[in-house]
Amino acid sequence: MCKLNNFKLISEEIINKIIEKKLFYTQYQPIVSIKDDSIFAYEALARFKYNNIVLPPDIVFEYCHSNLELFYKLESSIKKEQFRNRPRDKKLFINFDPHVFGYKTGVNDLFTFFKKQKNFIIELVENSHTSINIKLLIDIFNKFEFEFAMDDFFKEDSMVSIFLLNHTNYIKLDKDMLTAIKSNYSFVHIINGLVTFAHSHNKKVIFEGIETYEDLEMAKDTNVDFIQGFLYDKQFINK
């Protein structure tokens, strides 16, 4: 078991109860056009609560990685719930953790489920480049004609690679780039260069981590297509 904030333990029993009693829900975070503030899509973010305590998703998934059958059960339950309750009129960005390939008994069923869905983009989580042969993964996506997004671009230890950059449909800039711009404004030119490359190859760029109006103004100094972050959670929560 692993400690959670020094007062809570996560165990296989707890994870099974979360699955059985559906003690999870989805936050649909808007991805917004930088030009006119219209909602382009939503990202489905898994959230967990057990005994009235909110469990950090990264802690839950990290624990499950050591038990692939348990991870598959949790992941497949979450994905079905996320698609079932999705906003119907917009694209859906859905996180994909390649650890699911480790449970070979169920992975085909999960992809069969994906093939029945429409208007979604698979978002590769940050451990994708270390948990599987990424070229094999892209071959699978191409076979099923899935679009996908490259997450956490410019984050420390992120999966930046020429191969992924060439094949992805969407590039999501990590919020660490905002910190970099605040300390050295010339980083804006790096983003603008990346956007120029992206647009010349029919790709879109999303700036994540927009939490304040100061962040928003910085994002507007770039040529990105879309922005995402807690600032927009507040603006669109009742819409």
Angle at 211 between CA 208 and CA 216, to 5 degrees: 75
Cβ neighbors of 53 (< 8 A, separation 6 or more) are 8
The model's pLDDT over 139-189, given as tens digits with 9 standing for 90+, comes to 888 888 999 998 888 777 666 678 888 889 999 999 999 999 999 999 999
Residue spans per domain, the chain: 2-236
Q: What is the pLDDT of residue 210?
A: 94
Q: Domain 2-236: what homologous superfamily?
A: EAL domain (3.20.20.450)
d(CA 138, CA 144): 10
Mean pLDDT of the chain: 87
Residue labelled with tokens 């079932």: 84
Could you tell me if 94 and 72 are in contact, meaning their C-beta atoms sit under 8 angstroms apart? no
Average pLDDT over residues 53-60: 90
Q: What is the pLDDT of residue 234?
A: 60
d(CA 206, CA 120): 15
**Token pair for residue 135?**
């070229």
Q: Of 184, 150, 171, which is closest to residue 224 (Cα–Cα)?
A: 171
The model's pLDDT over 94-113, given as tens digits with 9 standing for 90+, comes to 998 888 888 889 888 988 99
Beta bridge partners of 3: 9
